[in-house]
């Protein structure tokens, strides 16, 4: 499984590394461009996410028609062009256009679909966790590398590095990523958006993914501006931003693995999410109100810990909570919502800093986080552990299969390519032999 997922996860890692490298410093460097205001800078920081949200579903549909690899290639080329435009931009509007173009190469849903194509159902949650882990690693590394690269070589150099990472991604795509098999499933149900929203656990995961990403871009607008702009009292040089991001990167990196392992193996993702939300709350409370540089750094560290604890588990939990015919739609809705929030988080933070003070902005965010915490405590449940039964289709009575209803049977589907019936069930509540007898 790992060999199948590693090359694709590497492409996702390189793409997000390119996007994340500029996040710790983009807001403060963009303020120096012609026509820049805090509001427009906020749009630039989160701009890629708006087009990413818009193009998620079209790219997914395109991949179904022309194939996953050609679609990923097309998205990477658009991302490459957008990165070059950003690298050579001299005013805020050109930079904004480049960021929008970066996001238009929306390959996230295609990569997720390709993982589903390559990996068996029972290990798909682990595969999603691996992909989420790679994104979290990219996030952590970017926080240390971004400020150092920007202070030594300028923000344009980071966008040029991003362009190089795209070329490396294309090489990996055509040399290491296996071509997925052509598998068509038949389901005894159809996917409806309303069914996904009505499922409390799926709705909670959509909320978690959405707020996590929205708070991320809000943080990356707020942190560098507060630390470097004279009116906030810290008055750091841009080249000193690494002093806040480096310890945060290290702490976030070391928090990620234990959270992922405990969440997956011990089946306690709810508890991990709650701890992460508490870290988010502590982070914005410190960032909004402290006047001490040392304490402010702790606020940045807490944010990174909360984000990295959460990231590896988000996609995995959506995959586990959704039925097989819902996975694509659930991940699509969740990711689109998260990307819209990414755009809105940066835009809102930039707009508010343009007209208000950081303490009031932090207070608004703290209320949102507190409501998020209470909602998660009351609504989210840990996933039920399921097993999978595979039976040759010729050994199954299809009429009995159609009528198969049991509270301990989550779903079933037919894999036509391999001529298998797959039944997902609660292993501790029903015997495999009894289950076979029901459909024989």
Q: What is the pLDDT of residue 433?
A: 80
Give dist(CA 368, CA 364) in Å, integer. 7
Range of the domain at 401: 387-439
Give the up-direction half-sphere exposure of residue 397: CA atoms within 13 A in the CB hemisphere.
10
136 plus 272 within the same structural domain: yes
Query: What would the pLDDT profile of 374-414 be if each residue is shown by its tens digit?
Result: 999 999 999 887 788 888 888 888 777 777 777 777 777 78
Please say if the pLDDT value at position 336 is more than 90. no
The reported pTM is 0.83
406 plus 262 within the same structural domain: no
Q: Sheet of 409-415: strands edge to edge?
A: 185-187, 409-415, 420-425, 387-392
Query: What would the pLDDT profile of 3-51 be if each residue is shown by its tens digit?
Result: 788 898 899 899 889 988 998 999 999 999 999 998 999 999 999 889 9
Give dist(CA 340, CA 141) in Å, integer. 24
Q: What is the dihedral of CA 330, 121, 135, 286, to 10 degrees?
A: 60
Phi, psi of 411 (to 5 degrees): -175, 170
314 closest CA partner among 289, 335, 299 = 335
Residue that finishes a domain, picked among 339, 356, 379: 379
412 plus 361 within the same structural domain: no
Residue 281 sits at the vertex; the CA angle it makes with 280 and 287, to the nearest 5 degrees, is: 85
Give dist(CA 175, CA 124) in Å, integer. 23
Residue that finishes a domain, picked among 350, 379, 408: 379
159 plus 213 within the same structural domain: yes
Query: What would the pLDDT profile of 178-234 be if each residue is shown by its tens digit?
Result: 876 655 555 555 556 777 888 888 899 999 999 999 999 999 999 999 999 988 999
330 plus 422 within the same structural domain: no
Question: Quick one: 356 exposed, middle or buried, by C-beta within 10 A (0-12, 13-18, 19+)?
Answer: exposed
Residue that finishes a domain, picked among 379, 403, 426: 379
308 plus 424 within the same structural domain: no
Query: What would the pLDDT profile of 269-327 be if each residue is shown by its tens digit?
Result: 999 999 999 999 999 999 999 999 999 999 999 999 999 999 888 878 887 787 766 76
130 closest CA partner among 264, 23, 272, 282 = 264
Joined together, the tokens standing for residue 91 give 């005013």
Buried b (16+ CB within 10 A) or exposed e, 55-80: bbbebbebbeeebbbebbbbbbebbb
Read off the pLDDT band of 249 (50, 70, 90).
Answer: confident
Give dist(CA 301, CA 305) in Å, integer. 6
Q: What is the mean pLDDT of residues 252-257?
A: 88
67 plus 15 within the same structural domain: yes
41 plus 61 within the same structural domain: yes
Give dist(CA 261, CA 129) in Å, integer. 10
Q: What is the pLDDT of residue 125?
A: 67
Query: What would the pLDDT profile of 76-125 be if each residue is shown by its tens digit?
Result: 999 999 999 999 999 999 999 999 999 998 787 788 778 777 777 667 66
Q: What is the pLDDT of residue 260?
A: 87
140 plus 252 within the same structural domain: yes
Domain count, the chain: 2
Give the domain CATH number at 63.
1.20.1250.20
Which of residues 327 and 53 earns the better pLDDT score?
53
396 plus 315 within the same structural domain: no
Q: What is the pLDDT of residue 293?
A: 95
Q: What is the pLDDT of residue 186?
A: 54
Phi, psi of 181 (to 5 degrees): -70, 155
48 plus 152 within the same structural domain: yes
β-strands 387-392, 185-187 pairing: unpaired
Q: What is the pLDDT of residue 324?
A: 66
254 plus 276 within the same structural domain: yes
């Amino acid at each position: 499984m790992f060999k199948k997922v590693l090359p694709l996860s590497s492409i996702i890692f390189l793409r997000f590394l390119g996007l994340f490298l500029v996040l710790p410093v983009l807001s403060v460097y963009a303020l120096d461009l012609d026509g820049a205001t805090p509001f427009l800078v906020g749009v630039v920081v989160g701009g890629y996410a708006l087009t990413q949200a818009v193009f998620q579903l079209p790219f997914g549909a395109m991949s179904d028609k022309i194939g996953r690899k050609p679609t990923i290639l097309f998205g990477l080329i658009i991302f490459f062009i957008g990165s070059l435009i950003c690298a050579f931009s001299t005013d805020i509007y050109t930079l904004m256009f480049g960021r929008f173009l970066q996001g238009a190469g929306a390959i996230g849903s295609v990569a997720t679909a390709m993982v589903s194509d390559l990996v068996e159902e029972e290990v798909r949650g682990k595969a999603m966790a691996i992909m989420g882990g790679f994104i979290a690693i990219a996030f952590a590394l970017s926080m240390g590398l971004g400020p150092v690269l920007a202070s030594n070589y300028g923000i344009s150099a980071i966008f040029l590095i991003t362009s190089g990472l795209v070329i490396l991604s294309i090489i990996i795509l055509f040399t290491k990523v296996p071509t997925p098999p052509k598998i068509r499933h038949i389901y005894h149900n159809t996917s409806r958006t309303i069914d996904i929203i009505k499922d409390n656990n799926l709705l909670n995961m959509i909320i978690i993914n959405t707020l996590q990403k929205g708070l991320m871009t809000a943080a990356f607008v707020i942190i560098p501006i507060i630390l470097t702009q004279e009116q906030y009292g810290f008055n750091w040089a841009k080249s000193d931003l690494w002093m806040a991001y480096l310890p945060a990167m290290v702490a976030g990196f070391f928090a990620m693995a234990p959270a992922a392992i405990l969440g997956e193996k011990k089946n306690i993702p709810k508890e991990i999410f709650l701890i992460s939300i508490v870290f988010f709350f502590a982070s914005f409370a410190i960032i909004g109100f402290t006047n001490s540089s040392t304490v402010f750094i702790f606020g940045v560290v807490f944010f990174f810990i909360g984000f990295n604890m959460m990231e590896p588990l988000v996609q995995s939990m959506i995959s586990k909570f959704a039925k097989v015919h819902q996975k694509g739609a659930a991940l699509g809705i969740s990711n689109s919502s998260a990307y819209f929030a990414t755009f809105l988080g940066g835009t809102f933070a930039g707009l508010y800093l343009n007209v208000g003070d950081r303490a009031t902005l932090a207070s608004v965010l703290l209320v949102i986080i507190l409501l998020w915490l209470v909602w998660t405590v009351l609504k989210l449940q840990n996933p039920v552990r399921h097993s999978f039964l595979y039976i040759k289709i010729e050994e199954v009575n299809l009429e009995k299969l159609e009528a198969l209803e049991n509270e301990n049977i989550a779903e079933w589907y037919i894999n036509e390519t391999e001529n298998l019936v797959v039944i997902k069930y609660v292993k501790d509540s029903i015997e495999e032999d009894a289950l076979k007898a029901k459909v024989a």
